[in-house]
Amino acid sequence: MADYAVVGKAGNKEKTIVQKLTGRLDYADDRLPGQKLVARTLLSRYANAEVTAINTSAAEALPGVKAVITYDECPMLYKSIRRWGQEIAAVAAVDNETATRALELIQVTYQEGNQISDVEEAMKPGAPLTGVWEGTNIRTSELLRGDVEAGFAQADQEFTETAGWTNFWQHKEMEPWSATTYWVGDDLYVWTTSQNPFGQRNTIKNTMGWPMHKIHLISHGSGSGHGNKHGANWIIIAAVLAKKAGMPVSYHLTRFEQCCSSTAHQNKGKLEMRVGVKNDGTITAVEATYWADGCSGGATTASGMDFGFRYTYNVPHAKWTFYDIATNTPLRGAFRCVADPPGDALYNLVMDKVADKLGMDPLEFRIKNLVAPDMLQFESKMPFSSMGIRQCLEQAAAALDWDTKWHQPGNRTLSDGRLHGIGIAGHIDSHGQMSSPCGAILNLTKDGKCLIAPGQSHNAGSINAHCHHVAEVLGMKYEDVHVGDWGHTDVTSEGGSEGGSTRCITLGSAYVEAALDARAEAFAVAAGWMGLTPDKLSAGDGLIFETANPTNSKTWVEVAGRFSYPIIGKGYSWPKKLRRQVLNWPVGTDCEVRGQMAQAVEIAVDPDTGQIEVLNMASAIDCGQAIYRSGFNKGCFGGHEIIMGETLMYEQVIDYGNGASMNPNFWQNAHVTAMDIHPEGFNAIAVETDDACGPHGCKGVGEPEVSALACMANAVYNATGVWIDSLPITPDKVLQALGKA
Amino acid sequence: MPEKEQLTPSNPVSRRQFLKGAGIVIGGTAMGSVFLLSSCGDGGEVTKTVTKTTTAPGQTVTTTAAGQTATTTVGAVTKYICPFDNQEFDTLAALKAHLEANHVGADAANITTLTVNGDTYAFVDLKPYTSLLYLLREKLALFGAKNGCNMGECGGCTVLMDGKPVNSCLVLAVEADGASIETVEGLSDGITLSTVQQIFYDEDALQCGYCAPGIIMSATALKREKANPTLDEVREALSGHMCTCGNLNTYMAALLNLR
Ligand code: FES
Ligand code: FES
C-alpha cells in the first residue's frame, strides 16, 4: 500500500463544519427571508382515477393567494392519477396557512378506476389492470448462466428456500424536497436540495424547454439524501408558480407531501431460490425467481436484485427469472440504491437458510462459495480492480468474536432470560464504481492555497474526499485546500450525480487530474526560479522541492507569490480501466470496480415482549483506500443506524382498500432515535485493498455501508431458532414466531 | 470561517446586527406592518433599528435602500420607535399609548416582544398562527433552526426558550411573548465555538448537518445542567431528534467522549 501524506489520515475535518455547527450553511429554504411565497400541492384522494374537471376559481379569489396552477400549466401535475397522493394542482400564497386553505377551495371531479396497491393481488392471473402499463400488470425477464440442470445434477442435495416480502418504506430524509425560486426576466434562479445540480438543470431544461444557460441553480446544503434528491419535480412546480405569481416561491414540502410525492420508497421484494449443493457446502447451481413491486412508476427493479449474489458467489450454473409488478402505490426509488437493499437481504437470508439445512456455520458457508480474486466476473467477463469480500466477512465476524459467540440456533440464553443471537451478511455491491464522465476545476491562489469548485451539493463526505485527493497531489497540507463555491451550475464544473457511491472515485479522479494540471504549471514557475526543469521537482508537506535534493525547496506560498497569471487546474474523470497490472491483467483492461462489505450484528431478543436490542454491530467495508477517514467512519456508523431502522422499524403502511399511505409522517413511521442506540457497540473497519482503478486506490462506500439487511434476520434466527424473513422484524412478528401471539 | 468583525466607535453596528435588521419582513395588516427592534450591544453601546414595511398584506419586503432602515447609536438605553412617525419612547407602554392615540388601525394591544440571542424585538400584529420557527426564520432571518417537519416530530427546529429546549415549530410566536430565545446563531460568533459546538468540531461529528442546529441546542441545555452527562441522560436529551444520515451515535459518542 502506498504511504500517503494526506489521504486516509485521521483528524481531517469536514470542510464546512463550522458553517454547519453555527447554523450558517445555507440550505434551500434558507434564502429570501419573508420575501417568498409558500407553495402547497393538491394531492389526489384516489389511487387510480382520471380527473374530469377542476375548478380553481374560489382558490384564486382567496386573499393572499398569488398563483394557482394545474396539470394544464405544469407537467409535474397530473390529470391521470395512478397513486394516492399524486399531485394535481399547486398554489402559491403569502403563507402556509393561506396556501393550505386555498387547496381546500379547489374543486376536483374524479372518475375513479380500479386501484390495486397490494402487490400479491396485482400479480394474480386476471387481476384488474392498475393502469401503469398498457394491458398488463407484470413484466418478466430472465438471465441464464451455464447449464442449470447439469449444475443440479452435480449436487448432492437440493433445497428450495423463500424469503420476503421485504418492507416498503419511505425515504424520510430530514430535509424534505425544497426549492426557492425566482425569475428575473427569463432567467430562473433556483436554490434547491440536491444530489445532482447539473442533472436537475438538465431535467428542468428538458421538461420545460427553458434555455439551460438561463437556469441558474445552486445547491449548497442538502439535508440528507440517500437517493431521493436527483429529480427536479419540486423545482419545476416552484418555478412555474414563481413565474405566474411574479414573485419568489419556496416549495418546501410538508412531511405529508413528501411521503406522497417522494420518488424514493424502497420497494418490496420476494425471492424463491432452488439451490444445489454438494455435501461439503459447495453450491453447484441455483434457480432463482424474484418478484418486485414496481409501484405506480412502473419500475423494473427485480432484475437488479440478483446483482450481489451473481457477483459474490462462484456459482457456474444459474437461472434467474424476474417479475416486476405494477401497483397503485407511491413511487419507488433509490434509498441507498433501488434494488440492492431488498435483493441483498433476500439472498443473504436464503444463504443462511441453506447453511442451516446443511448444519454449517453460515460464515463458513459463505466463504466457501465466494468468487476468487483471479476470476473474471461471469457475465461481464471482466476482472475485478480489487477484491476484499473475504476479508470483509472475516473481519466483521472477528470484530464481534464470531468464533466464540456463534451457536446453534436458539440455544443460548443470557442471564437476564433474553435470547442471544448473532448474524452476518455480506456481498459484493453494485456500487462504488467509476461512473459517467464528469469534470473538475480548481484555482491556486496567490497566497499558496487551493480552492476547489465541485459541481455537487454538500451532502456529506465526498467533497472532503476531493480535498484529500487534491492536497495529496499538490503536496499541500489538507488545511490549505478549501472548497470555494460548489453545487452552482454557473461557476462549477459538471460534477455528476451523487448517486451510486461514485463521487469519491469518479469526481475524485477528475480532481486528481485537475491537481496534476495545476501542479504542472506551478512547477514550471518554481523550476524557472530554482534554475531546474519541472521534471526534477516534487511536492509534499507544503513545499515544492528538488526530488534529488529535498533540502532545495520553496514553500507553496513563495512559489504562488510568483504566479504572473492565475493558475487554474482542470481535469476529467478516468475510464473504468485498470491503471496498474492486477495478476495477469495488464494496465488498460476494462474492469469491474465494486464496493464490497460485510456486516455482523449481535442482539438480545426478549421472548416475553418480542423486543430486540442491538448490542453490537460491525461493518467491514472494502473501500480500496479510506480517503476522508472520519467520513468513512461516520458513514459506516450511519449505516448501522439505517440498517437498524430498515430491518426493525421502517414500514410505509398502505391501506389496500384505497391505496392510501397510513403513516405519512415521522412519528407513525417509527425512526431510530437516541433511545435505541448503544454508541459504544458500533464498529467500523476499513478493508484497504488498494483498488487498481480508483484515485489513490479508493472505491465508493456509501451504499455498501447499508445493504447487509439480512444480518439482523439471521441474528434473530440464531437467537430464536425461527425464521422471520419478512421485514421489518417487529415485536409482534417475533412473538408470533415464538408462538406467543 | 467568517472573519471577525470588530465593534469600534467608528463602526458601532456589527454587520450581523445590521443584516438582521435589513432582512426583515412582516406579514402585514390592511393598515400597515411594523417591525420594532431595540438591541443592546455590550460595552454600553445601544443600537436601535427601525424598519417600516409597505402595506400590502403578507408579503411586503423591507430593504435598506432609500433610508427605509435607519441605524443609529445612542446611549445605553433601549428605545421603542414608532414605525409610522419615528418618534422615540422609553417604554413599550408609552409606545402603545402613542400608537393608540395616533395611528388608527395599528393594533397596539397586539405587540409581542421577545429577546432573541440577547436582542429584544417587538412585533405588532403577529398572526395568531405564526409559529416561533417561522418568526425566527422569515422575520429575523435566523435560518439555523430548520423546518424538518413543522409538526414536532424531528427536532430540527429546536431552540432554547428561557433555557429549555422547545420545538419552535410547535410554539406560537405570541406564546413566546416576553420569553428569551436562544438559537444556534447565538452560541457563537462563527470564530469562538460554544462548548458543544467545539466537542462536535473536535470529533468532526457532522454529516449533512441539517439536524445539527437542533441537536446542538438540546445538547447545550443538557451540558449546562450537567457537565458530564451519563449515556441515559444523553439519550433522553437527544430522544426528540431525528438524524436521517444515521449520525445520532456519532453525536452521542462525541458528547460522551467515547471514540
Ligand atoms: S420542524 Fe419542529 S420538530 Fe420538526
Ligand atoms: S447529519 Fe444529516 S440529518 Fe443528521
Report the pLDDT value the prediction gives residue B78, as an integer from 0 to 100: 61
- Of the residues B59, B183, B255, the best mutation for testing chain A's interface (the one with the most A CB atoms within 10 Å of its CB) is B59
CA distances A124 to A115, A129, A502, Å, are: 14, 11, 39
Lowest mean pLDDT among A152-166, A202-216, A357-371, B106-120: B106-120
The fraction of chain A above a pLDDT of 70, given in percent, is 99
- Pick from A264-268, A330-334, A539-543: least confident: A264-268
- Cell representation of residue B42: 455590550
Does residue A429 sit in the same domain as residue A441?
no
| Helix axes of B231-238 and B248-255: crossing angle, nearest 10 degrees | 140
What pLDDT, on a 0 to 100 scale, did the predictor assign at position A460?
A: 63
d(CA A187, CA A183): 6
- Collapsing DSSP to helix, strand or coil, A703 comes out as helix
Ramachandran assignment for A572, one of left (phi > 0), alpha (psi -120 to 50 degrees), beta (any other): beta
Angstrom distance (rounded) from CA A385 to CA B68: 64
The boundaries of the domain holding residue A567 are 17-24+435-572
ipTM comes to: 0.96
Q: What DSSP string describes A445-514?
A: -TTS-EEE--SS-B-SSHHHHHHHHHHHHHT--GGGEEE-S-SBTTTS-----S-TT-HHHHHHHHHHHH
A426, A448: one domain: no
The CATH number assigned to the domain holding A523 equals 3.30.365.10
Q: Is B245 in the pocket of ligand 2 (CB under 6 A)?
A: yes
Helices B212-225 and B195-202, interaxial angle, to 10°?
A: 120
Q: Degrees (nearest 5) of the Cα angle A367, A371, A373? A: 110
| pLDDT higher than 80, residue B69 | no
pLDDT, residue A741, reads: 78
* pLDDT for res A333: 83
- Which residue in this structure is represented by grid cell 449444475? A151
The neighbour count for residue B65, using CB atoms within 10 Å, is 8
Residue B191: closest CA among A21, A486, A485, A630: A21
Size of interface A-B (CB pairs under 8 A): 227
Looking at this protein, which amino acid is placed at residue A501?
A: S
Write the pLDDT tens digit of every residue in B18-56: 223 322 222 222 222 223 332 222 222 222 333 333 223
Q: Residue A112: CB partners within 8 Å, gap ≥ 6?
A: A46, A48, A49
C-alpha dihedral sign at A46, A49, A50, A53: negative
Mean pLDDT of A218-246: 95
Same domain, A446 and A385: no
- Looking at residue A264, its pLDDT comes to 65
B177 to chain A, any CB pair closer than 8 A? The answer is no
Q: Is B247 in the pocket of ligand 2 (CB under 6 A)?
A: yes
The reported pTM is 0.91
**Whole-number percent of chain A with pLDDT over 90:** 90
**Mean pLDDT, all residues of chain B:** 73
Report the distance separating Cα A164 and Cα A551, nearest Å.
65
Say whether pLDDT at A485 is over 50.
Answer: yes
Is residue A414 over pLDDT 90? yes
CB A207 within 8 A of CB A233: no
Q: State how far residue B78 is from chain A, nearest Cα, in angstroms.
A: 26
Q: Which of B27, B57, B208 sits opposite A222 (nearest CB)?
A: B208
- Final residue of a domain: which of A252, A282, A314? A252
Report the alpha-carbon distance of residue A69 to residue A78 in Å, rounded: 11
Q: Which of A545, A572, A599 is the last residue of a domain?
A: A572
Ligand nearest to the CA of A29: 1
Q: Mutate which of A21, A617, A680, A701 to test chain B, going by most B C-beta atoms within 10 A? A: A21
Ligand 2 atom nearest the C-alpha of B211 is 4
Contacts of A180 (CB under 8 A, 6+ apart): A28, A29, A31, A32, A36, A190, A191, A192, A238, A248, A249, A250
Please state the domain count of chain A. 3
Nearest atom of ligand 1 to the alpha carbon of B153: 3
Of B134, B137, B143, B151, the one to substitute when testing ligand 1's pocket (max ligand atoms within 8 A of C-beta) is B151
Averaged pLDDT for residues A343-353:
95
Domain for residue A598, yes or no?
yes
Residues B82, B50: Cα–Cα separation, whole Å:
8
| Residue A314 maps to a domain | yes
Is the minimum distance from the CB of B250 to ligand 2 under 6 angstroms? no
DSSP B74: E
- Are both A491 and A532 inside the same structural domain? yes
Give residue B79's pLDDT: 66
Residue A25 in grid coordinates: 450553511
8 Å CB contact of B57 and A64: yes
Assess B183–A contact: CB distance below 8 Å, yes or no.
yes
A550 falls in which pLDDT band (50, 70, 90)? very high
pLDDT of residue B27: 24
Q: Is the pLDDT of residue B16 over 80?
A: no
What confidence tens digit (pLDDT) does each residue in A613-649 have?
Answer: 999 999 999 999 999 999 999 999 999 999 999 999 9
Q: Please report whether residue A452 resides in a domain.
A: yes
Task: Tell me which residue in A21, A460, A639 faces B197 most closely, judged by beta carbons.
Answer: A21
| Assigned domain for A160 exists | no
- The confidence score (pLDDT) of residue B210 equals 97
Task: Single out the residue in A538, A572, A606 at which a domain terminates.
Answer: A572
Residues of chain A with C-beta less than 8 angstroms from the C-beta of B154: 174, 666
Q: How confident is the model at residue B88 (pLDDT cuts 50, 70, 90)?
A: confident
Asked if the C-beta of B209 comes within 8 angstroms of chain A's C-beta atoms, the answer is: yes
For residue B170, the ligand closest to its alpha carbon is 1
Residues A121-134, mean pLDDT to the nearest whole number: 96
- Nearest CB to B153 within list A37, A95, A665: A665
Residue A347 pLDDT > 80:
yes
Taking a C-beta distance cutoff of 8 angstroms, is the pair A673, A648 a contact?
Answer: no
Strand partners of residue A572: A439
Give the tens place of pLDDT for each residue, A140-156. Answer: 999 999 999 999 999 99
pLDDT at residue B57, as a whole number: 31
Domains delineated in chain B: 1-58+70-126 (no CATH), 128-259 (3.10.20.30)
What confidence tens digit (pLDDT) does each residue in B124-179 have?
Answer: 778 899 999 999 999 899 999 999 999 999 999 999 999 999 999 999 999 999 99
Cα radius of gyration (chain A): 27
Give the pLDDT band of residue B70 (cuts 50, 70, 90).
very low
Say yes or no: B56 contacts chain A, CB-CB below 8 A.
Answer: no
Question: What pLDDT score does B89 carry?
Answer: 81
Answer whether A14 sits within 8 Å of B25, measured CB to CB: no
What was the pLDDT predicted at A159? 98
Within this chain, do residues A536 and A440 fall inside the same structural domain, yes or no? yes
What's the mean pLDDT when you consider all of chain A?
95
What would the pLDDT profile of A48-99 be if each residue is shown by its tens digit?
A: 999 999 999 999 999 999 999 999 999 999 999 999 999 999 999 999 999 9
The answer to whether residue A96 is domain-embedded is yes
For ligand 2, atom 3, the nearest C-alpha belongs to B243
Smallest CA–CA distance, residue A132 to chain B, in Å, is 31
Are residues A686 and A617 part of one domain? yes
The verdict on A322 and A407 lying in the same domain is: yes
- CB B249 less than 6 A from any atom of ligand 2: no
| Cβ contacts of B198 within 8 Å, gap of 6 or more | none
For residue A224, the ligand closest to its alpha carbon is 2
Residue A579 has pLDDT above 80, yes or no: yes
* CB-CB neighbors (< 8 A) of B201 in chain A: 13, 17-18, 21
Give the C-alpha separation, A84 to A44, whole Å: 6
Among A22, A630, A672, the residue with its CB nearest the CB of B185 is A22
Interface test with B, best of A22, A32, A254 (most B CBs within 10 A): A22
Residue A455 in contact with residue A438, Cβ under 8 Å? Answer: yes
Q: CB-based contact (8 Å) between B213 and chain A?
A: yes
pLDDT > 80? residue A14: yes
Q: Is residue A136 part of a domain?
A: no
Q: What is the pLDDT of residue B45?
A: 23
